[in-house]
Amino acid sequence: MATRRLWPGVGRLFTIGTMLGRGRRAYSASLAFAEVLRLPSNQRTKLVFPLQELQRFLVPGSNPDLHLKIFDPTLDDIARAESIFTASARNRIDYVSSAVRLDHAPDLRCPEVCFIGRSNVGKSSLIKALFSFAPEVEVRVSKKPGHTKKMNFFKVGRYFTLVDMPGYGYRAPEDFVDMVEDYLKERRNLMRTFLLVDSVVGIQKTDNIAIEMCEEFALPYVMVLTKIDKSSKGRLLKQVLQIQKFVDTETQGCFPQLFPVSAVTFSGIHLLRCFIADITGNLD
């Protein structure tokens, strides 16, 4: 497997990182991924490539395509992405500002990605997990009923901006649409929209608000399946296959490969970081 072939290269990357003196945090982040690499291969697959691990549970011969290989980075790529997500004096990861409308959004020119999903889908937990090597970043949550929900902008060094969009629910779908429609339609540097779906319950009626917007505006978007630690492998596989079928047959702009994640076990987090680094042009 690619893992073994690339091991010497990955080792070299850590040594270089340390020699360059990228600071204590970068060093410890590298160590954390080095620890991942030292895991037995089945545990490493479970953590880094959860979809690949699920594929082992398919009925032999049934062979549905989980599109595993569409985004299939090397471990070197994953290690590079980890360093982008690691805060240091040279790589500041900060909350920038919040906005309720596009014309209040900060004028940031670097590539942007945004995260949308219904309230309680696990969006703040996921963003916190992505920023686990920037612990001082405060992922603001405003859940009090009636409290204005905003788009929150985070700058990741000189690499990209991540936008935490307001959660939507069935109570006020038109508020959500009013707030985010212009942003989704007109934000020039928006490279990809990450649409979060709770893997325990699958795609809900309210998720169609976001799916229909992405489709209507012809946005390239990606489905991220949250809370995968909560289901048995069988249940999760069933949901994954259903969502996969939906993506294959009902969508135009959705990336065919799904990204299952857990903010609790960190399963899928490294791969998602790497995908974000890649689509924002930072792994070229």
Closer CB to ligand GDP, 157 or 268, in the complex = 268
Determine if 270 is a binding residue for ligand GDP (CB under 6 A): no
Closer CB to ligand GDP, 158 or 171, in the complex = 171
User: What gap in Å lies between CA 270 and CA 247, rounded to an integer?
Assistant: 23
Q: Environment class of residue 237 by beta-carbon count within 10 Å: exposed (0-12), middle (13-18) or buried (19+)?
A: buried
Closest contact distance (angstroms) between CB of 127 and ligand GDP is 8
- Give which of 109, 257, 144, 241 is closest to 194, Cα–Cα: 257
Determine if 125 is a binding residue for ligand GDP (CB under 6 A): yes
- Give which of 163, 237, 150, 169 is closest to 194, Cα–Cα: 163
User: Near ligand GDP by CB under 6 A, which window of 118-126, 171-179, 201-209, 268-276?
Assistant: 118-126
Closer CB to ligand GDP, 169 or 256, in the complex = 169
Token pair for residue 235? Answer: 């249940």
Find the angle CA(4)-CA(10)-CA(12) to the nearest 5 degrees.
Answer: 125
Determine if 45 is a binding residue for ligand GDP (CB under 6 A): no
Closest contact distance (angstroms) between CB of 200 and ligand GDP is 9
CB 262 within 8 A of CB 228: yes
Total residues interacting with ligand GDP, rule: CB under 6 A: 17
Q: Applying CB under 6 A, which residues contact ligand GDP? A: 117, 119-125, 141, 167, 226-227, 229-230, 262-264
